[in-house]
Structure 1
Amino acid sequence: MNWIANVVPPRIRSFLSRRETPENLWVKCPDSGEMVFHKDLEANLFVVPGSGYHFKMGAKARFASMFDGGTWEEIPLRETLADPLKFRDAKRYSDKIKEARANTGLQDSVLVGYGQLEGENITMAVHDFGFIAGSLGMAAGEAVVTGLETAVQRRTPFVLFAASGGARMQEGMFSLMQMPRTVVAVQRLRAAKLPYIVVLTDPTTGGVTASYAMLGDVHIAEPGALIGFAGQRVIEQTVREKLPDGFQRAEYLRDHGMVDLVVPRKEMRATVARLCAVLMRVPAKEAA
């Protein structure tokens, strides 16, 4: 025991031991162990410069990186029941919703926006994994459906950035019903002959993978993204076989035909813009 612990009053002791710097000032790369300054990581679209590891990206940050000038129109969403089953385990589901809203600044796990991408109108929906693991509940399903309907009404491509742990168990059957609802909405977009581009980010699993996330005209994945329905351990226990290395990762799925492209985040904007232009048959701009 030193003299601070013995003599200095607790209130002053706590002041002396208080950290002068924020806890998240530096971020450690899970792959390489490299320490990256948080501001540098944010400026690099949350990609570690040395290893290329892609951290999860929030919905608003994703919009800012994709829309021209970082500006967009947020599409208003119809209200849904916040807690249809009055679900409770260790904590009330309604309390979890309030906590997630306070932490993310979002009403639910999917945000829908309308704006321009390289001068062309586009409708976009983004899952935010920070909101209860980007899970699919009534509000998230309503957001995806509204985004698809907006694309049809405004005659734009629809781009979805998926990141989800799957259906939201606290909403039971109400959550599962969002799977057929969103599939029907995708069919309406297809009937209108408008492009649907899906970007699969880490992780995209469960009911989201089993419905609208795998119905795109083009499927892009970010490097190293985990993509699948059931987890690897569950599959191994079911088939009683050891799965290959990299199973369910973006590169493996591309090599086996489930994903069309694996695109680094820095190239995502240009890639999506080019695909939208081709699918909408927009004439190439003349060189100056």
Structure 2
Amino acid sequence: MAFPGSYVDDHALAQDRTGEQESLLAMSGTCLGNPVVACAFEHGFLGGTLGAVAGEVFARAARYALEMRVPLVCFTASEGARIEEGMGSLMQMAKTAASIEKLHQEGVPYISVLANHVSGEVWASLAVLGDINIAESGVRVSMAPLALMEQGALDGDAQLRDAEQLLSHGAVDMVVDRLDMRTSIGRLLGKFGSAASSGEVSEG
């Protein structure tokens, strides 16, 4: 379902319709007729941070995608690790990265989509480990939490990178407008499906 408004309005409407309140949701279905397993971070819940529960949800989604031989797509908008969970949160970096590596080894495609804002441990562990990495136009990426930059604790100009900079330095493969995202991902899934049926999908 496509929503025409801002992310804030879209999310409020989606929450009203579904009742979902989690920081990371996982689901299976189709996009333009192509089967897919999808994850989506909700930045409004603790900054969409990667805590123990979110890490486990992602790992289970990856295992399900592997079992069903279906591409995994993750929409990332996160402030990084949930620091109040300490070591338990940091362990999610290894868990999510290992889940993606297993997909690579088995030739199951993983598409990563960066939405605004992505930072820290999530950037390192799952946001740019895709077979194809897509940045939404207007996305901002940093190694530090956005809140620290907004408070003036860090130099935002030195920390932030936009979609075009990521593309020019090879950190992402495509920059796509949000309104075109469904069509672009659907086409990629179709190509992956064609390659899989002809035996052309390889490791990594």
TM exceeding 0.5 = yes
Matched, 1:253 2:166: yes
CA distance in 2, matches of 1:130, 1:198: 20
Q: Which amino acid aligns with 1:254?
A: L
Q: CA deviation at 1:154?
A: 0.9
The answer for the alignment partner of 2:126 in structure 1 is 212
Q: For residues 189 and 213 of structure 1, do their structure 2 counterparts lie closer, same or farther at Cα, with a shift above 3 Å needed?
A: same
Q: Which amino acid aligns with 1:121?
A: P
| Local SS of the residue matching 1:156 | coil
Q: For residues 57 and 179 of structure 1, do their structure 2 counterparts lie closer, same or farther at Cα, with a shift above 3 Å needed?
A: farther
Does the 8 A contact of 2:128 with 2:172 survive in 1?
A: no
The answer for the alignment partner of 2:58 in structure 1 is 144
Gaps of 5+ in 1: 1-41, 47-53, 65-70, 72-103, 284-288
CA distance in 2, matches of 1:202, 1:57: 14
Matched, 1:44 2:10: no
CA distance in 1, matches of 2:53, 2:13: 17
The answer for the alignment partner of 2:115 in structure 1 is 201
Gaps of 5+ in 2: 198-204
Larger RCO of the pair (alpha carbons < 8 Å, separation 6+): 2
Matched residues, number:
189
Q: 164, 185, 191: which is aligned to 1:278?
A: 191
The answer for the alignment partner of 1:49 in structure 2 is none
The answer for the alignment partner of 1:10 in structure 2 is none
Q: CA deviation at 1:45?
A: 4.5
**More strand per residue:** 2
CA distance in 2, matches of 1:272, 1:61: 20
Q: How much identity, in percent, do the aligned residues show?
A: 35
Q: 94, 97, 109: which is aligned to 1:183?
A: 97
1:125-144 paired onto structure 2 within 5 Å: 125-144=39-58
| TM-score when normalising by structure 1 | 0.59
CA distance in 1, matches of 2:40, 2:135: 14
Q: For residues 44 and 181 of structure 1, do their structure 2 counterparts lie closer, same or farther at Cα, with a shift above 3 Å needed?
A: same
Runs of 4 or more above 6 Å deviation: 232-235
CA distance in 2, matches of 1:127, 1:57: 14
Q: For residues 182 and 59 of structure 1, do their structure 2 counterparts lie closer, same or farther at Cα, with a shift above 3 Å needed?
A: farther
Matched, 1:161 2:121: no
CA distance in 2, matches of 1:201, 1:278: 23
The answer for the alignment partner of 2:201 in structure 1 is none
Does the 8 A contact of 1:162 with 1:204 survive in 2?
A: yes
Q: For residues 159 and 171 of structure 1, do their structure 2 counterparts lie closer, same or farther at Cα, with a shift above 3 Å needed?
A: same
Q: CA deviation at 1:230?
A: 2.8
Q: For residues 207 and 191 of structure 1, do their structure 2 counterparts lie closer, same or farther at Cα, with a shift above 3 Å needed?
A: same
Whose radius of gyration is greater, 1 or 2? 1
The answer for the alignment partner of 1:93 in structure 2 is none
Report Cα offsets for 1:139-172 as digits up to 9, x if no partner. Answer: 0000110110010011100000000001001111
Does the 8 A contact of 2:79 with 2:120 survive in 1?
A: yes
Does the 8 A contact of 2:3 with 2:10 survive in 1?
A: no
CA distance in 2, matches of 1:183, 1:132: 22
| Local SS of the residue matching 2:172 | coil
CA distance in 2, matches of 1:44, 1:132: 25
